[in-house]
Amino acid sequence: MVKVKIWGSLATFTEDQREVEVEASTLRELLDGLAESYPGLKPQLERGVSVSIDGRIYNDSWFQPIEPESEVVLLARLKGDRPGLAPSGLRNSAPKKSRCDISSLFFTNR
């Protein structure tokens, strides 16, 4: 089982649970498991979400492996207006449509 932290308004679709568990070994399995367990979340998942796995953001990497001990966060889809800019306007070093390390923004216990 993978523990998934639900970020922001997406928790309204998981019965206000901020952390849920899903049986998954890839990003695709994770999203399918969430849709099955929380049908209200399915339209959000179909529109597109971002998933942070161990501090790296993934949008469409369906076969990205997830370990049971991975730190996983489900977020509303992150999009930047300009290459190299995170949604908040903070610079990141990752190219557009790639993964970027945002762990310092969300996890302070590292």
Question: Which H/E stretch holds residue 47?
Answer: helix 42-47
Reported as a single tens digit per residue, the pLDDT across 75-97 is: 988 766 544 444 444 344 444 44
| pLDDT averaged over every residue in the chain | 81
Question: Are 16 and 9 within 8 A, CB to CB?
Answer: no
Q: Is the pLDDT of residue 101 over 60?
A: no
Reported as a single tens digit per residue, the pLDDT across 8-28 is: 999 999 999 999 999 999 999
Q: How far apart are CA 74 and CA 56, in angstroms?
A: 12
Please tell me the predicted confidence (pLDDT) of residue 80. Answer: 60
Nearest Cα to Cα of residue 99 among 60, 73, 44: 60
Q: Where are the domains of the chain?
A: 2-106
The CATH code belonging to domain 2-106 is 3.10.20.30
Question: Are 50 and 75 within 8 A, CB to CB?
Answer: yes
Residues in contact with 48: Cβ distance below 8 Å, sequence separation at least 6, in sequence order: 59, 77
Q: What's the token pair of residue 3? A: 């523990």
